[in-house]
Copies of this chain bind each other. A is one copy, B any other.
Amino acid sequence: MARIRIALAQINVTVGDLEGNRAKIISWMHKARDNGAYLATFPELSVSGYPPEDLLLKQHFLADCQDCLNEIAAHSKDMAALVGFPEHCDGKTYNSAALMADGNILGVYRKIELPNYGVFDEKRYFHPGDSPLIFQLGEVRFAVTICEDIWVEGGSSESCMREAGVGAVVNISASPFYARKHHVRLEVLRRFASRVGASILYNNLVGGQDELIFDGGSMVVDRHGALVCMAERFTEDLLLYDVEAVDLEPGRTAPSRKDSAPTVQVPEPKRPLAIPAPPLRVPPELSETEEVYAALVLGTKDYVRKNGFEKTVLGLSGGIDSALTAVVAVEALGRDNVVAVTMPSQYTSSETLSDATLLATNLGIRLITVPISRIFRAYMDELTAFLGEGPPGLEAENLQARIRGNLLMTFSNRFGWLVLTTGNKSETAVGYSTLYGDTAGGFAVIKDVPKVMVYQLAEYVNAKSERPVIPPSIIERPPTAELRPGQKDEDSLPPYHLLDTILKAYVEEDRAPEEIVRAGFPSELVIEVVRMVDRNEYKRRQAPPGIKITPKAFGRDRRLPITNRYRPRPR
């Protein structure tokens, strides 16, 4: 048979939900067959969800995954499927893909290249595999790879695939998102396809898992490195593609004579290939702002829903961070599932208060107003005797923020609403926040979004609707925490465009302070920013999880000690 229809099932599974994931995989397998596919592929570790982390250290978890895989295999009737699962064998655990057809598991591929950097800890759990899996379906020879396998250039499997006459390489992935990574991925696919001289069928995961977003964008790249078709991003999708033997490099349609790797024969389905071939679609490209916004919406929706919450609550200050967070939450969950609370103090201006009200009206969400002045006074009445001489300082500012955190948590505990926090990456980096105050909550929507990008997202939100959702005065007003009279962020922090550039260099790129100074920033400014980042590690350690959208987010991605006296030497 000269054509083989493949369905790349870009599904959204949930970590640990073995029964749910199994049901979804089986249902999408049937959907693929209904669409004429001979082979359906599923993302890396679909059975367990990705990353399962230390669940992989539980023997009963591994046994349950194996049972689910066997149950899935029993459903592979009149078709083949490739399903990612954690495999436990002879005391070792592997990140594996099972090739199944007609109710049987025909072979298992074990991931060879295990990432152990950034957010990845795969060497904590997995032993590496050591041999390729090549299978023949009709006239086409396929090789199986898992995620990282194709990111490492010149692996031993590449020459093996060439020698074996492989025409198409399947890669099942769980590749986490950051802004513009999709382009990096496409480049990796192009280079791999050109090196190996085979098409590549790239099946990525989609969905949110704690801090990670998997953005989908599964795709097919031909042996010349050209993008052929692509699934939607940030949503489930079934990408159909007919591998045609005539498209393959000459000499690759028949099994190679030099049998460097044993080949698994996959039975062809007992049905003719449906014609015509599925259309080759490539969705329109997303701008950086568009994809970050989509990531925030998907990440919020999946965190809230996968953790069993329905409603959320957040504090609306009248500032841009909480405004953007509210917009994202409404888009992710619907207006009925977002409750806003505004908590004015004596320092709250009438403008910010009316802006908060206007935003809530624009979004159509419920707004509760709880003033904090009397509560604040009750604290101070009890405390004054113990606070010593001198005017109120930081402790009074933080106390106001903590009263607000308590109020939100009280709503959360009473009604089961998840508290969304509203801090951005710039303030998270320098610790411009109150622990147990504005950082108190279950999920930090824009935690990894630098302030300058917060503005871009706000403009984008307004531009895409008929009339501005976020009142322009929220965007235009200089940022302020409103915790003391006349306070402005820029009293304590450098202007955000400078701050964000320095933070990118220091936090994301691990540049030395002197390098940053040489790039044109004032020395005192750089030293002060670095000092603030370093000394606030303890705050970040107690922060709620939030959505990673940059190459290096605070969290699993960046593991610095709290106890850390390092100060770079002048060079």
A15 to B534, CA, bound (A): 13
Quote the shortest CB–CB distance from A433 to chain B (angstroms).
Answer: 13
CB nearest neighbor in B for A21: B565
A380-421 contacts to B, CB under 8 A, are 381-383, 386-388, 393-395, 398-399, 402-403, 405-407, 409-415
Q: Is the CB of B560 within 8 A of A60?
A: no
Among A239-247, A371-379, A471-479, the stretch that binds chain B is A371-379
Nearest-neighbour CB distance to chain B for A264, whole angstroms, equals: 30
Asked if A543 CB lies within 8 Å of chain B CBs, one says: yes
Binding site for B on A (CB under 8 A): 14-18, 20, 51-55, 57-61, 63-64, 67, 116-117, 121, 123-124, 208-210, 302-303, 306-307, 368, 370-372, 374-375, 377-379, 381-383, 386-388, 393-395, 398-399, 402-403, 405-407, 409-415, 435-436, 440, 442, 510, 512, 514-515, 538, 541-545, 558-569, 571
- Counting chain B CB atoms within 10 Å of each CB, the highest count among A15, A410, A510, A569 belongs to A410
Query: Which residue of B is nearest A374, CB measured?
Result: B378
Q: Which of B210, B381, B558 is close to A54, meaning CB atoms less than 8 Å apart? A: B558
Give chain B nearest CB distance to A210 CB in angstroms.
5
Given the complex of chains A and B, what is the CA–CA distance between A379 and B52 in angstroms? 41
Please indicate the chain B residues that have their CB under 8 angstroms from the CB of A398 in the complex. Answer: 409-410, 413
A410 to chain B: which residues have CB within 8 Å?
A: 379, 383, 387, 395, 398-399
Chain B residues, CB < 8 A from A403: 406
Task: Indicate if the CB atoms of A383 and B407 lie closer than 8 Å.
Answer: yes
The 4 residue pairs across chains A and B that have the minimum distance between CB atoms: A16-B566, A378-B378, A60-B512, A395-B413
Given contacts A383-B370, A383-B410, A413-B394, contact A306 B563 (CB under 8 A): yes
Give the distance in Å from the alpha carbon of A442 to the alpha carbon of B541 in the complex: 10
Min CB distance A206 to B, Å, is 15
Contact check, B388 vs A370: say whether CB atoms are below 8 A apart. no
Using A395-B411, A402-B406, A435-B440 as known contacts, list a sample of 13 further A-B pairs with CB atoms less than 8 Å apart, ordered by residue number in A: A54-B558, A61-B566, A64-B568, A117-B124, A124-B559, A306-B565, A375-B379, A379-B407, A383-B407, A383-B410, A395-B412, A399-B413, A542-B543
